[in-house]
Amino acid sequence: MKRVIFVLLVTVSFLFAGCLNDDDGYSMGDIWIGSGIVEDEQSFRIKLDGGEILIPVAFSDYMSSAPMLKTGDRVFLNYTVLDEKKNDVDSIEAYYVKINDYEKVLMKGILDITDAIEDSIGNDPIIVLDHWVSNNLLNLKLKYWGEQKKHYINLVKEPGILTAGDQPFELELRHNDNDDNQSIAFVSFVSFKLDSLKIAGLDSVRFKVSSKNYNNETITFEKVYKYSENN
């Protein structure tokens, strides 16, 4: 249930979120949310998708029992900005923050679908609540039903070398619920690395993702991966 509770908290937080360039200063009552990558597991230094650097200097009581994060982990954060770290020319280098809560985000690559993995990949329904591209990643907010078993989420494509003429590249979101009971609604985030879609000589590519929902309908969305802007 933790994932559902956290997402509800994040939804409420959006209503009170400020902006990192708030000229009126920072308040302990202000809350920001964002996604990023842990750059240093020792200091928990985080680089947000927009490029801003967060340096945690305070944590909520929850963090004392939270799982440890490692360099390279992706996280979804609920935080409060306390102050700015500036350089010699008075430009902002980073933000000192209090971490109120966070969710570790599953991050993985795109798989080639083969007969050998077809069964394990599964073809169970899933709902895509939101989707966006940032920092060389396709980010998905997903909803699915389960109870106690571990679920597996993958993004797959047909084997073979991609060419510019194949655009939009066809990808499929696959879900294996391991025959779990559909008694609880879960909401979670997952990020897929898009590097394998790069085509030499281009600065962007188009791709579309299809998935099957609980009404057995095929849902498709199309995105542009502008990797020259995300490196």
On the 0-12 / 13-18 / 19+ scale of CB atoms within 10 A, 66 is: middle
Total-model pTM: 0.80
pLDDT (0 to 100) of residue 64: 56
The tokens 């000192």 sit on which residue?
96
With CA atoms as reference, report the closest residue to 125 among 150, 143, 148: 143
pLDDT tens figures, 146-190? 999 999 999 999 999 999 999 999 999 999 999 999 999 999 999
CA R_g for the chain? 19
pLDDT (0 to 100) of residue 68: 74
Reduce the DSSP state of residue 121 to 3 states and report it.
helix
Reduce the DSSP state of residue 148 to 3 states and report it.
coil
pLDDT surpassing 90 at residue 203: yes
pLDDT tens figures, 82-135? 988 887 777 888 999 999 988 889 999 999 998 888 888 999 999 999 999 988
Length of the chain: 231
pLDDT (0 to 100) of residue 5: 34
Cβ contact 205:230 at 8 Å: no
pLDDT (0 to 100) of residue 3: 37
For the chain, strand residue ranges (E) read: 32-40, 45-48, 53-59, 74-86, 92-108, 111-112, 127-134, 137-146, 152-157, 169-176, 184-193, 205-212, 218-225
Cα separation of 203 and 108, whole Å? 22
